[in-house]
């Protein structure tokens, strides 16, 4: 690679030139940037802007010989095989990843598509027969063949392919469309994009620029920001991915980065909402990072093992992420495994804060206070019910898994399964898949009716539905099946009536009484 580059000075090159820099390996995308995530509408709008000569903003590029950052090996659905020679000057794109990926992927021939990167729809077409005010950029629908007037954007910058496409149009007498294809190709060929170079070998200046630029517009995940700020010494997302991988056997491989970030903020008593990536990175930079993340993993493991005893088998069934943050931080402060009495206090605290919606709309000060309160509850033998906790619990009128009250109901159903193996497997499925694990007992009846909801393994669900609709006496095994999933066995005679509403009413009464007793045992007041 030459020591002189397109990216040495501010310039306004043509789009074709910029794309060639990517293809040749001269322009790299550091992987501390968030992955490509633009939806169809944003991609089509960008392409439409380019076709009409509208500005789409500049690209910020950093040139360096000293730093070799880990970079993406693909862009969109395409593998990038070429890399710069070690020790040569490298150019890194610091702002413009989403835009560049959209343009490169749409305008590149599809013969090099990477099969593991097929979540986003490609290729993009332009309907040459569209009227002026119609959306001309589009995608192929299903397996339907594109219309003859749909030109794939991948041929626009490839002269031979474009000529062949135009010739095909003219052979069909579509001369106007052939001319439009030529005009569209010229619009993309002649489009210019400002390149702003960042001239420095100071990685701190570079990552600071990256953070400032990307704090504008759509917010990035904090882990991407922290990763950029700490890139010279630590890859925080890789650390968190390693923790998740080791938590996978427990069902927590999908735990979000933000839970870990907030837990680290709590560790250093930073404001959960207001403290930015730089403040957290300052603490990390002054710490033994291996110790910090080993400690985070150990305390998270202990926390999710406790939650499993409450039927929470994964992040999808966790009522509040801040409950987990509070538990992890409290365990860190205690520094030892919990005694049976401490586990019981923590169990009551978890269920009480769940049933009362304690963490709904909670402020950062209250989050900090709740962590302090939980620590003192576990170490000073205090009441497990926070002082400011509302004691009254309303009945569940309508089931909606997105509500915490419904999650509490689903978790209670899981905990009614007496057989440990069935209970743990069911809790794991609920924690991993969330709402899809809470099925209707009678598929034709209302989904919002709590009495019509069961949390059951798929093979068990089929048997359960068959038993409640069969017209014959219950066997011992079928009776056990009904009890396992909180269907009253004394309503068995009603099965012969074949009216689900009778059965649901019996189950509604049973579940209401069950929940009321459970809530009272927590020291709360069931208002039903």
Name the more confident of 489 and 253: 253
CA 310 to chain centre: 24
Alpha helical stretches, state H, 62-96: none
Res. 4: pLDDT tops 60: no
**Which pLDDT band, with edges at 50, 70 and 90, does 220 fall under?**
low
Res. 184: pLDDT tops 60: yes
Query: Could you give the 3-state DSSP secondary structure of residue 75?
Result: strand
Per-residue model confidence as pLDDT tens digits over 313-359:
999 999 999 999 999 999 999 989 999 999 999 999 999 999 999 99
Per-residue model confidence as pLDDT tens digits over 8-54:
678 899 999 999 999 888 899 988 787 888 989 899 999 999 999 99
Name the more confident of 436 and 10: 436
Query: Could you give the 3-state DSSP secondary structure of residue 113?
Result: strand
Per-residue model confidence as pLDDT tens digits over 268-322:
999 998 887 778 888 988 999 899 999 999 999 999 999 999 999 999 999 999 9
Rounded Cα distance, 261 and 325, in Å: 9
CA torsion through residues 183, 184, 189, 190, sign: positive
Angle at 41 between CA 39 and CA 42, to 5 degrees: 70
Angle between helices 277-285 and 257-267 (to 10 degrees): 60
pLDDT of residue 138: 92
Q: For residue 88, give both structure tokens.
A: 């040569």
Per-residue model confidence as pLDDT tens digits over 64-81:
877 777 888 888 888 887
Which candidate, 498, 400, 402, places its Cα nearest to that of 449?
Answer: 400
**Which pLDDT band, with edges at 50, 70 and 90, does 215 fall under?**
low
The answer to whether residues 110 and 67 touch, using CB atoms and an 8 Å cutoff, is no
Rounded Cα distance, 448 and 333, in Å: 42
Q: What does the DSSP 8-state code read for residue 360?
A: T
Q: What percent of the chain has pLDDT over 70?
A: 89
Rounded Cα distance, 61 and 96, in Å: 9
Percentage helix, strand, coil, to 5, in the chain?
50, 10, 40
Q: What percent of the chain has pLDDT over 90?
A: 64
pLDDT of residue 115: 41
Rounded Cα distance, 445 and 410, in Å: 18
Res. 3: pLDDT tops 50: no
10 Å Cβ neighbour count for 56? 18
Per-residue model confidence as pLDDT tens digits over 224-249:
656 665 655 567 878 898 999 999 99
- The predicted model gives 356-373 an average pLDDT of 94
The answer to whether residues 313 and 430 touch, using CB atoms and an 8 Å cutoff, is yes
What's the whole-number average pLDDT of the chain? 88
Per-residue model confidence as pLDDT tens digits over 85-143:
666 778 999 889 999 999 999 999 754 444 444 557 888 999 999 987 788 999 887 77
What is 139-197 written as a DSSP string? E--TTPPPPTTEEEGGGTT-HHHHHHHHHHHHHTT-HHHHHHHHHHHHHHHH-B--EEE
Least confident of 133-147, 194-208, 409-423: 194-208
- In the 3-class helix/strand/coil scheme, how is 398-456 assigned residue by residue? CCCCCCHHHHHHHHHHHHCCCCHHHHHHHHHHHHHHHHHHEEECCCCCCCCCHHHEEEC
Q: What kind and span of H or E run contains 27? A: strand 27-28
Residue 237: phi and psi, rounded to 5, are -70, -35
- Cα within 13 Å of Cα(430), Cβ side: 32
Cα maximum dimension of the chain: 87
Rounded Cα distance, 390 and 254, in Å: 32
* pTM of structure: 0.69
What are the CA-CA distances from residue 30 to residues 71, 75, 223 (Å)?
Answer: 4, 11, 15
């Amino acid at each position: 690679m030459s020591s002189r580059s397109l990216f040495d000075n501010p310039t306004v090159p043509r789009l074709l030139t910029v794309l060639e820099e990517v293809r040749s390996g001269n322009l790299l995308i550091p992987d501390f940037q968030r992955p490509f995530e633009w939806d169809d509408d944003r991609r089509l709008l960008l392409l439409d802007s380019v076709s009409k000569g509208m500005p789409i903003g500049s690209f910020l590029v950093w040139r360096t010989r000293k730093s070799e950052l880990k970079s993406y090996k693909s862009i969109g659905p395409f593998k990038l095989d070429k890399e710069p020679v070690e020790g040569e000057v490298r150019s890194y794109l610091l702002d413009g990843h989403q835009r560049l990926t959209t343009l490169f992927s749409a305008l590149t021939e599809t013969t090099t598509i990477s099969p593991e990167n097929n979540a986003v729809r490609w290729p993009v077409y332009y309907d040459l027969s569209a009227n002026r005010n119609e959306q001309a950029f589009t995608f192929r629908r299903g397996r339907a063949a594109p219309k003859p007037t749909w030109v794939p954007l991948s041929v626009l910058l490839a002269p031979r392919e474009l000529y062949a496409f135009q010739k095909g149009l003219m052979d069909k007498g579509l001369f106007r469309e052939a001319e439009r294809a030529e005009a569209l190709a010229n619009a993309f060929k002649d489009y210019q994009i400002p390149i702003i170079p960042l001239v420095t070998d100071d990685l701190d200046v570079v990552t600071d620029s990256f953070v400032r630029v990307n704090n504008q517009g759509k917010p990035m995940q904090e882990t991407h920001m922290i990763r950029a700020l700490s890139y010279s010494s630590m890859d925080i997302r890789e650390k968190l991915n390693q923790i998740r991988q080791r938590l996978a056997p427990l069902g927590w491989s999908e735990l979000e980065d933000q839970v870990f970030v907030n837990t680290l903020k709590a560790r250093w008593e930073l404001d959960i909402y207001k403290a930015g990536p730089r403040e957290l990175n300052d603490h990390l930079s002054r710490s033994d990072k291996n110790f910090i993340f080993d400690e985070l993993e150990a305390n998270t493991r202990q926390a999710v093992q406790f939650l499993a005893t409450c039927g929470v088998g994964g992040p999808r069934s966790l009522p509040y992420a801040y409950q987990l943050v509070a538990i992890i931080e409290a365990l860190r402060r205690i520094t030892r495994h919990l005694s049976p009495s401490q586990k019981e206090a923590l169990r009551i605290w978890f269920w009480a804060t769940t049933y009362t919606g304690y963490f709904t709309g909670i402020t950062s000060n209250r989050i900090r206070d709740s962590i302090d309160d939980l620590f003192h509850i576990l170490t000073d033998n205090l009441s497990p019910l926070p002082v400011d906790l509302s004691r009254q619990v309303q009945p569940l009128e309508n089931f909606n898994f997105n509500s915490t009250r419904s999650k509490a109901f689903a978790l209670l159903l899981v905990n009614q399964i007496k057989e440990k193996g069935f209970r743990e497997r069911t809790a794991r499925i609920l924690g991993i898949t969330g709402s899809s694990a809470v099925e209707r007992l009678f598929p034709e009846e209302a989904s919002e009716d709590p009495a019509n909801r069961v949390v059951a393994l798929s093979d068990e669900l089929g048997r359960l539905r068959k038993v409640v609709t069969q017209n014959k006496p219950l066997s011992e095994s079928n009776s056990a099946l009904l009890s396992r999933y909180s269907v009253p066995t004394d309503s068995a005679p009603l099965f012969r009536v074949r009216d689900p509403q009778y059965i649901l009413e019996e189950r509604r009464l049973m579940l209401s009484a069950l929940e009321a007793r459970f809530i009272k045992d927590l020291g709360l007041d069931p208002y039903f």
